[in-house]
Amino acid sequence: MYAMSGGSMQHAVIIANLTGELYVALKRRSCTVMNSDMRVRISPSKFYTHPDIVVVCGPPKVADDQNDTLLNPTLLIEVLSPSTEAHDRGFKFLHYRQLESLQEYALVWQAEPRVEIFRRQASGEWLLSEAAGLDSHCRFDSAGCRIALGEIYHRVDFAGEEPTLSI
């Protein structure tokens, strides 16, 4: 278990925006979007995480009758914070890659409008694609959708050194 403190308001807004956009894009498809309440088991030794956003396409497989632990995520998304970035990029991604069901892992920056998406290739290798700037879109191929970065970062102001909310 890795202790995590609560995120910033910008972190929460980015997660809410992206969750909402994914929900709208996927509501008529066989994919389900979930927030960090859904626990994901990422190793046979029962290592668990709570990604910021979880998408499962097709029937979800759960660990037991509690329905609180997903075994087959298709897409996992983490919103990067200064205190968690190294853990998200390193330790978590190392373990996430062990999940046979996982097709994409996305890292969403908080400090600027940028989304990195790692896609599993047929060879088993992971290929990075990146979208940057508020006029860009990111593609989630595993879920068959595109999301505008302008929507992900709606009400986040990057004018200062630290992103703030703009109302």
Residue-wise pLDDT for 90-142, tens only, equals: 989 999 999 999 999 999 999 999 999 999 999 999 999 999 999 999 999 99
Q: In the chain, what are the domains? A: 9-165 (3.90.1570.10)
Which SS3 state, helix, strand or coil, does residue 147 take? strand
Q: What integer is the mean pLDDT of 61-77? A: 92
The helix or strand, by DSSP H or E, that contains position 93, with its residue range, turns out to be helix 93-96
Q: What integer is the mean pLDDT of 140-148? A: 97
Q: With contact defined as beta carbons under 8 Å apart, do 137 and 151 qualify?
A: no
94-115 burial code (b ≥16 CB/10 A, e <16)? eebeebebbbbbbbbbbeebbb
- C-alpha distances (whole Å) from 75 to each of 9, 21, 32, 103 are 24, 14, 10, 6
Nearest to 153 by CA among 104, 114, 118: 114
What pLDDT, on the 0 to 100 scale, is given for residue 66?
A: 83
Q: What confidence category does residue 164 fall into, taking pLDDT thresholds of 50, 70 and 90?
A: low
**Sheet strands side by side (includes 48-49):** 48-49, 39-41, 69-70
Residues 6+ apart with CB under 8 A from 3: none
Mean pLDDT over all residues of the chain? Answer: 90
